[in-house]
Structure formats: structure tokens, C-alpha cells
């Protein structure tokens, strides 16, 4: 399966309907893995919580069972949203399930106290024009987050990669740490609590993040066992010339998976004017970069076609 498939709606609809992900599955981490961290960051059980790109993960069901009563879960796939609605049809005070494009969220400004991204950014890396889509998604996550609210992201990407894409908005990093997930336990590797300001210009961000690497599933991982009960699938950043820079490997549950957990807090005063200007500059920069990359692809294709013709003539 080409990596780009993970960035298409048709793939996910098919997989949720009758494919590999037809059964409930937690990407990267379960509620058991993150319960201590999330409850410390969102202690109020009446907090308004948004989980974009929710899929059919047991995570949100377990979080709701733990007492969080105002949860909204959204996904681009109508198939999985219908499945999740049906699974809670008889329950009072159920989760709100929405079909949602994360780059154009249907919610009011400052609507949520917490937004939880569990490997969504990893998946969006597989979309065509991924850099632009991730930027628009984070703009939306920032917009719907109330002042003082927290954006919690768990990703296979490194601290540097996450800081780069989070840059240019009026929030601050309250925590950035590498954690080991193993058998339902989260162990910190290293922690950075210096509260970095990310409201600067996006021009300071690296131009290309495709080379960023993290833990990758190896061939030995696939050979350990074919039983799904002994494996945990997780996105792993891989070097690729394709537009998708995230591959999906299989990592045995018995083996430790290192991920990055990032917590951003939206400034109490909201996004300052200069932040809005920065976002506009960022979108303009991304549009120019996208056009530049397209021109490079066209030139490369033309060069390849010309070389092929010369080889035939020779």
C-alpha cells in the first residue's frame, strides 16, 4: 500500500467499513497510557474537549467513561462516525460525533477547553499538500481553543518537527517531552518545561520537515508474530521522496515505542494582532512553496521524459 493512501478519504472509508481498521483501534496510545497526564492537564470533568481525527479508538470512549461529559469527537470519514454514533445510540449523555474536515472545523471561536491530537498530525503528513493542510488544521485548533485552554498532541515526530509546525500562533509550549509507551505505561525520557513562546513569524520555521525522523518499525518487528493481539500499529516517520512523510508500521506491544507529547496553552488574552498577521504570512509562504514544488516536479518529469526519448533513439 503506497504511503499516500493513508492521506485519502476513500482508503479510510474502506478500512473502517470492512478492512484492517474495522475493529476499534487506538493509535499510539490508549487512555490507560495517558490518563494521568490528561487528567492533570484537564482536571475539570465538565471541560469541553475536542478530539479531531478520532477514528474508532477506544481512547475517547474510555475518557468519557472516566467522567468527561462534554466531549466532541470528529473524523473526516462518515463511515466511522456513523459506526461510533451507533455504538452509543442507547447511552444517555453520549459523546457528540461529527463528520469534520479538520482544516475547516464547524465550531465557534473559543469553543473548547482542550483539543487532543493523538497521531492526527502524523496521518495528515500523508495528504497531498500536507504542509499546508497541517498549517490550516493547527490554525483551526488554535481558533476553537478557548483562552487558557490546552492543545495536547501525541506524535511520532520529534520535538524540533513539532515546534516548527506549531510556530506562529499565540500559544506557548508548557511541556514538550519524549515518553516511552509500553504495556499501558508512560515513562518520560526527557522533559522541557521552559514554556517557549511560539507566537513568532513562521518564516523562522524550517523550509522542509520531510527529513525529520523518529522511531521506525523494522522488518524484525513484522516477523515477531502475525497475531493482532501481540501488535500495536503506530505511525513512524520515514525518509521518503513522496509527499507523504509518515509510514504506518507494526510495532509489537511488548516493545517500547518512543513518542513526543506536547502541551500548548493558548494565551489568556487570545491571539494578538501580530499573530494574525503571522498566520497570513505563513499561508502566503506555504502557497508559494507549494507552487515552487509543483514546478520542480514538472521539470523533473519533463527531464525524465526527454531522457527516455533519448534512450529510445540511442
Cell 479531531 -> residue: 52
pLDDT of residue 107: 97
pLDDT of 14 reads 77
Weakly modelled stretches of the chain, pLDDT under 50? 1-2, 190-195, 201-254, 270-279
Domains of the chain: 3-313 (3.40.50.150)
Instruction: For residue 209, give the nearest of 163, 278, 169 by alpha carbon.
Output: 163
The model's pTM: 0.68
Report helix, strand or coil for 190: strand
12 SS3 class: helix
Note the pLDDT of residue 16. Answer: 73
DSSP readout, 260-294? EEEEEEE-TT---HHHHHHHHHHHHHHHHHHHHHH
* Count of alpha carbons within 13 angstroms of residue 45, beta-carbon side: 8
Asked if 203 and 285 touch (Cβ cutoff 8 Å), the reply is yes
Amino acid at each position: 500500500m503506497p504511503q499516500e493512501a493513508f492521506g485519502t478519504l476513500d482508503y479510510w472509508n474502506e478500512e473502517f467499513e470492512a478492512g484492517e481498521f474495522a475493529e476499534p483501534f487506538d493509535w499510539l496510545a490508549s487512555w490507560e497510557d495517558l490518563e494521568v497526564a490528561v487528567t492533570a492537564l484537564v482536571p475539570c470533568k465538565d471541560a469541553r474537549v475536542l478530539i479531531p481525527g478520532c477514528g474508532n479508538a477506544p481512547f475517547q470512549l474510555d475518557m468519557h467513561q472516566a467522567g468527561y461529559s462534554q466531549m466532541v469527537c470528529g473524523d473526516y470519514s462518515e463511515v466511522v462516525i456513523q459506526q461510533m454514533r451507533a455504538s452509543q445510540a442507547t447511552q444517555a449523555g453520549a459523546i457528540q460525533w461529527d463528520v469534520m474536515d479538520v482544516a475547516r472545523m464547524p465550531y465557534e471561536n473559543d469553543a473548547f477547553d482542550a483539543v487532543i491530537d493523538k497521531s492526527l498530525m502524523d496521518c495528515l503528513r500523508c495528504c497531498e499538500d500536507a504542509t499546508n493542510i497541517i498549517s490550516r488544521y493547527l490554525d483551526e485548533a488554535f481558533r476553537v481553543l478557548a483562552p487558557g485552554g490546552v492543545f495536547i498532541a501525541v506524535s511520532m515526530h520529534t520535538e524540533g518537527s513539532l515546534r516548527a509546525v506549531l510556530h506562529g500562533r499565540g500559544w506557548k509550549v508548557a511541556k514538550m517531552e519524549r515518553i516511552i509507551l509500553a504495556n499501558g505505561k508512560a515513562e518520560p525520557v526527557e522533559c522541557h518545561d521552559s514554556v517557549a513562546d511560539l507566537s513568532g513569524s513562521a518564516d523562522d520555521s524550517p523550509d522542509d520537515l520531510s527529513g525529520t525522523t523518529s522511531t521506525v518499525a523494522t522488518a524484525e518487528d513484522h516477523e515477531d508474530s502475525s497475531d493482532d493481539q501481540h501488535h500495536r500499529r503506530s505511525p513512524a516517520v520515514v525518509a521518503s521522496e513522496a509527499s507523504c512523510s509518515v509510514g504506518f508500521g507494526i510495532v509489537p506491544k511488548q516493545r517500547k515505542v518512543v513518542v513526543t507529547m506536547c502541551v500548548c496553552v493558548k494565551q489568556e488574552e487570545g491571539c494578538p494582532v501580530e499573530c494574525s498577521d503571522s498566520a497570513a504570512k505563513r499561508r502566503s509562504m506555504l502557497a508559494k512553496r507549494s507552487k515552487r514544488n509543483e514546478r520542480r516536479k514538472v521539470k523533473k518529469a519533463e527531464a525524465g521524459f526527454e531522457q527516455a526519448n533519448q534512450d529510445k533513439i540511442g
